[in-house]
Amino acid sequence: MPKLPKWLSEVGWRTVVGGALLGGIVHILFTLAVPFISKGHAYAKLRDALPANRMVVLPPPAPGREPLPFLTPDALYAMCRFDISVETLAVNVTMAHAGWTLSLHTPQGDNFYVMPAQQLRGSEIAITVVPEPDRSGEFIPTPRRIGAQGDQISSPSTEGIVMVRAPLKGLSWRAQTEAALRQASCRPVKRPQ
C-alpha cells in the first residue's frame, strides 16, 4: 500500500472543510460577478447591431453566423433594443402558435417579463414598457386592436432587449413563420405630460 505524504496526515478535517467552504463561496461570488465585469456580453453585441426602438427579424442561426451563442436553429428570432429613458415603448406581437415566446431582458441578461403563447389567450399581444419610477399611479394609453391584451410592464432599467422566439414546425412552414414574425413591432410612445 502506498504511503501518504507527511503533510497530508498533518492536515486536520477542519482545514479541509474550511477550504471547501471558502472555495464554494469564491466560486459563487465569481459566478454572480461575471455579468458585471465581462466585456463581451450579449447586450454589447446587440447594442451595436440593432437600432433603438425598432423590431428586427434576425436571419436564421447558422454555424458561424449566430448573432448570439446558443440560439437554437429550430427557431426564428426577432429582437428590439429598447431605450425608454425619454419615451415609453409599445410592443405588438402576434403569437401565431404554441411555443412562441415574448420576453424582455435587462442589459445584464436578467429577464423581467416572459409571456408564452397559450391556446386560451388571444394571439394579439400589446404591451407598453415603462420605466419603474413612472409606474406609480399613472396610466399610459397604448393603441389596442380588437382582442389585444394591453399590459403595462415596468422595466428595472431604461435599456434592454425585447425578444420574440418563434419555433419552426418544419422547413415548409418557414415562410409562414417569418411572415408572422415580421408583423411584430416595437415603437416609442410619448409619455403623457
| Per-residue model confidence (pLDDT) at position 135 | 43
Same domain, 96 and 132: yes
Type and span of the H or E element at 9:
helix 6-10
Same domain, 80 and 130: yes
pLDDT at 122 over 60: yes
For residue 84, pLDDT over 90 is answered with: yes
Structural domain range at position 20: 6-37
pLDDT higher than 80, residue 124: yes
Per-residue model confidence (pLDDT) at position 142: 45
Give me the CATH number covering residue 155: 2.60.40
Residue 185: pLDDT over 80: yes
pLDDT at position 1 over 80: no
For residues 59-78, give the mean pLDDT. 84
Q: Are residues 66 and 133 in the same domain?
A: yes
Residues 75 and 56 in one domain: yes
Could you tell me if 176 and 101 lie in one domain?
yes
- Regarding whether 52 and 31 lie in a shared domain, the answer is no
127 pLDDT band, cuts 50/70/90, is very high
The answer on pLDDT for 146 being more than 60 is no
| Bridge partners, 89 (sequence order) | 129, 188
The whole-number average pLDDT for the span 99-127 is 87
Shared-domain flag, residues 21 and 72: no
Q: Is it the case that residue 168 has pLDDT exceeding 70? A: yes
Please state, rounded to an integer, the average pLDDT across all residues of the chain: 84
SS3 per residue for 19-68: HHHHHHHHHHHHHHHHHHHCCCCHHHHHHHHCCECCEEECCCCCCCCCCC
Q: In the predicted model, is pLDDT for residue 85 greater than 50?
A: yes
Percent of the chain with pLDDT over 70: 87
pLDDT of residue 10: 80
pLDDT for the residue numbered 193: 61
Angle at 164 between CA 158 and CA 166, to 5 degrees: 170
The pLDDT value given to residue 81: 94
Residue type, 114: V
Amino acid at residue number 167? P
Cβ-based burial of 159 (10 A; exposed 0-12, middle 13-18, buried ≥19): middle
Contact 50, 77 (CB under 8 A): no
User: Taking 50 as the threshold, does the pLDDT of residue 178 lie above it?
Assistant: yes
